[in-house]
Structure 1
Amino acid sequence: MISRTAAIAGIGATEFSKDSGRSELRLAVEAIRAALDDAGLRPADVSGLVTFTMDNNSEIAVARELGIGELTFLTRIGYGGGAACAIVQQAVLAVTAGLADVVVCYRALNERSGRRFGQAYASPDTDAGWHVPTGLATPAAQVAMVARRYLHDHGASTDDFGRVTVAARRHAATNPHAWFHGRPITLDDHRASRWIAEPLRLLDCCQESDGAVAVVVTTVDRARDLPRPPAVIAAAAQGSGPGQFVMTSYYRPTVAGLPEIAVTGRQIWAQSGYRPADVRTAMLYDHFTPYVLMQLEELGFCAPGEARHLIADDGIELDGRLPVNPHGGQLGEAYIHGMNGIAEAVRQVRGTAVNQVPGGGPVLVTAGTGVPTSALLLEATP
């Protein structure tokens, strides 16, 4: 069992912007240096590096720029944002097995000033030939198919999607590190935002951001001797559902769900011994608002079709039943492929978050949805 064998001992990030003015390699190095400083470690202490297959920075280039010596563990995880928690899981496996003493997980991207994921582009994927010619050429268009079916099946409305954005922007408004700091919105603002792909409006879609985030993983025993309170990894899971495709899994009998999230959820609860009711706050991957509702259902926080009732009356805001993304998430803080959600979870465990959620329960993090995904459950040391 990997439960509670490893911890996140350090976190670091660059500023979040729309034009970083520097290379993705420099962003990665800055974030990793900040994470190592936070952990009270040096580059020479690092023996493993893990990142996304989509990260443009080779591990050896990162190691060279930082002055890291020998590496005994290096790997990458695919499927875009679905990798966020899985790269931490890989680090846990490495330090638990004794393959590396200290592993750094990182993601750096100029997603606004460089390649913009929201724009259509030619795909080498054979499966893309079935949907790109019909106009499903961007993530928003693909998610719109799922969102429309979800509305039909459960009697929800686009206002239910809007409430997710309103909560995220309200949290971001009080977070000095968020791009939308000081800029909350109302439900009327959501209703007035332009259509991107019906039923998704502009304010249903996450930001495009430049920046980088890194986290340092080591054993719980070593983490206890470092300067910062460790965020113990009570559970780490990765999963894919039957008939999985990307964003719109149209090979399945129904598209209005995220069974891959349920796969990770079952593992999280089994590994940790916790249940949904124990969770103090959740960092849910919010690239598109409908997928936040579906995650709440797939993870067991409410029954299928009932997420709209959970989020009504501020249910996912700071004083609600389940505060979601107190940092503002990818809708409000920044889109760093979910890595900033992991950093916020660590701050919540430490008790140092700007929008600190009270209590002693665990903190949940999910990774990208609509693709093979992953999740973490973090807790403080006893």
Structure 2
Amino acid sequence: MARTGAGTGTRTGTGTPGIKDATAVVGIGQTPFAKQLPQSEKALACRAILAALDDAGISPAEVDALASYTMEETDEVEVAKAVGFGDLSFFSKVGFGGGGSCATVAHLAAAVATGQATVGVAWRSRKRGSGPRPWRNTTVQLPTPAQWTRPFGLLRPADEIAMLTRRYLYEHGASRDHLFNVALACRNRANQNPAAMMYERPLTRDMYMTSRWISEPLCLFDNCLETDGALACVIVSAERARDCRHRPVYVHSAAQGLPAQHHGMVNYWNDDPLTGPAWTAARHLWKHADFTPEDVDVAQIYDAFTPLIPLSLEGYGFCGRGEGGAFTEGGALEIGGRLPLNTSGGGLSEAYVHGFNLINEGVRQLRGTSTAQVPGAATCLVTAGEGVPTSALLLRN
């Protein structure tokens, strides 16, 4: 496969500086994950950020760029004061919940590559396990596009994805066994990961098939965990990355995706409701990469719900339209399979912190330090939430 030299300042076809391999993730950090943690979201955020900076060997005073989510309750001012940052020259927030995870890194990579900043920190802190359940208050959703769906029974994301899943199963002959393959692969990896909420808690097909419905055809094990916890990562230039504590993990390509006439998790106005934002993000991601889906050694694909995996496999080009279910057969998602997936356990079995744990696991894989290490992993695809406006990263070592 073709590989560019890291840190070469590769240019795009327009003649403008690109971000390809110009920056690297050099530090990752996280708090413990649990159903309930006593610390505030602010305290968890600060702990994860300090851990990531320590991992990189960089002082908090050197940080001059921040990126997080619009749903992050701890703002830049509070984090900067509490952690002890210097002057900030760049800060951004990305919308659409889990769809924003990879974009936080992309924003910082662009800021560092273009000289707006030198040390960037992306983070997400969340107390969904012990916090309020926002989907119980349907009234607050009515000023949004949900005004056209909530009155008819699609009260939660699970209900919307269930509707989409029913159509997918019907149109393409996929089955619940294919969804089980996804849940099992994530659980098997979590069973190897002491930090995972589902560590040493095996999943069997009988457990899956007899579990209670959450929103038919989605059962308990088709849904992500509800988790308290925080994660962070540190991004610097490729040149500086060579002097940090760990092997650099380069941001090779990055993309966001918001397709035309998009509605939400179920695209009523899209010509093809089963082709979501992943398809849009993927076109841009691969256009600016020296790799193809065949070159990806390991993937961390957003898994708030199991059916998002086959949909994303199709969107990012690992298989054809309607072939995502069949792709999961024969241990394809396990270590040694066609595409080892979510090797820390993902949102289904490690923790659900709006997908940020997938970024950190991608870094561990390319450092060679994962608890479920893919031998010789050199490229990793990380994706954000499918169904909502999304983002993706292609990482390399």
Whether the TM-score (by the shorter chain) exceeds 0.5 is yes
Partner of 1:308: 325
Partner of 2:298: 281
Partner of 1:297: 314
Shift of 1:118: 5.4
Shift of 1:359: 2.2
1:278/1:361 contact within 8 Å kept: no
Amino acid at match of 2:224: C
CA distance in 2, matches of 1:231, 1:294: 27
1:16/1:209 contact within 8 Å kept: yes
Amino acid at match of 2:385: G
Kindly indicate whether residue 141 of structure 2 is the aligned counterpart of residue 123 of structure 1. Answer: yes
Q: What are the superposed Cα offsets for residues 298-340 of structure 1, whole Å, 9 maximum, x if unpaired? A: 1111111112222111110112111011111000100011100
Q: What are the superposed Cα offsets for residues 321-375 of structure 1, whole Å, 9 maximum, x if unpaired? A: 1101111100010001110000000000100111000124310000011111000
TM-score normalised to structure 1 length: 0.97
Kindly indicate whether residue 271 of structure 2 is the aligned counterpart of residue 249 of structure 1. Answer: no
Q: 1:97 aligns with which of 102, 114, 120?
A: 114
Kindly indicate whether residue 94 of structure 2 is the aligned counterpart of residue 61 of structure 1. Answer: no
Shift of 1:253: 2.9
1:150/1:156 contact within 8 Å kept: yes
1:302/1:310 contact within 8 Å kept: yes
CA distance in 1, matches of 2:91, 2:142: 26
Q: 1:343 aligns with which of 353, 360, 378?
A: 360
Kindly indicate whether residue 170 of structure 2 is the aligned counterpart of residue 152 of structure 1. Answer: yes
Change (3 A) 1:222 1:125: farther
Look up the SS of the partner of 1:9 in the other structure. strand
Change (3 A) 1:66 1:274: same
CA distance in 1, matches of 2:363, 2:216: 36
Change (3 A) 1:125 1:46: same
Look up the SS of the partner of 2:162 in the other structure. helix
Kindly indicate whether residue 91 of structure 2 is the aligned counterpart of residue 74 of structure 1. Answer: yes
Q: 1:137 aligns with which of 155, 168, 171?
A: 155
Kindly indicate whether residue 387 of structure 2 is the aligned counterpart of residue 375 of structure 1. Answer: no
1:364/1:378 contact within 8 Å kept: yes
Shift of 1:265: 1.3
Amino acid at match of 2:79: V
CA distance in 1, matches of 2:368, 2:356: 19
Partner of 2:126: 109
1:120/1:138 contact within 8 Å kept: no
Look up the SS of the partner of 2:68 in the other structure. strand
Q: What are the superposed Cα offsets for residues 107-148 of structure 1, whole Å, 9 maximum, x if unpaired? A: 001011012355454215332211110011100001111000
CA distance in 1, matches of 2:163, 2:259: 18
CA distance in 1, matches of 2:285, 2:264: 23
Look up the SS of the partner of 2:328 in the other structure. helix
Aligned CA-pair RMSD: 1.1
Partner of 2:9: none
Q: 1:364 aligns with which of 381, 390, 395?
A: 381
CA distance in 1, matches of 2:339, 2:135: 30
Amino acid at match of 2:128: E
Amino acid at match of 2:206: D
Q: What are the superposed Cα offsets for residues 249-302 of structure 1, whole Å, 9 maximum, x if unpaired? A: 2122332232x1112112222212101110000000000111100100111111
Change (3 A) 1:228 1:147: same
Q: What are the superposed Cα offsets for residues 49-101 of structure 1, whole Å, 9 maximum, x if unpaired? A: 11000000010100000011211111101000000000111001110111111
Shift of 1:245: 1.8
Residue correspondences, number: 379
Partner of 1:20: 37
Partner of 2:343: 326
| % same residue | 44
Kindly indicate whether residue 53 of structure 2 is the aligned counterpart of residue 36 of structure 1. Answer: yes
Deviates more, 1:155-164 or 1:23-32: 155-164
Amino acid at match of 2:41: E
Look up the SS of the partner of 1:211 in the other structure. strand
2:61/2:85 contact within 8 Å kept: yes
Look up the SS of the partner of 1:94 in the other structure. helix
CA distance in 2, matches of 1:113, 1:127: 28
Kindly indicate whether residue 233 of structure 2 is the aligned counterpart of residue 228 of structure 1. Answer: no
Q: 1:209 aligns with which of 223, 227, 247?
A: 227
CA distance in 2, matches of 1:290, 1:257: 13
1:9/1:39 contact within 8 Å kept: yes
Which runs of 5 or more residues in structure 2 are unaligned?
Answer: 1-17
Partner of 1:173: 191
Amino acid at match of 2:161: V
Amino acid at match of 2:279: A
Which runs of 5 or more residues in structure 1 are unaligned?
Answer: none
2:142/2:150 contact within 8 Å kept: no
Look up the SS of the partner of 1:75 in the other structure. strand
CA distance in 1, matches of 2:335, 2:377: 15
Look up the SS of the partner of 2:42 in the other structure. helix
Q: What are the superposed Cα offsets for residues 150-208 of structure 1, whole Å, 9 maximum, x if unpaired? A: 01110111121111101110110111010000012012211111111111111100000
2:183/2:348 contact within 8 Å kept: yes
TM-score normalised to structure 2 length: 0.93
2:368/2:377 contact within 8 Å kept: no
Partner of 2:4: none
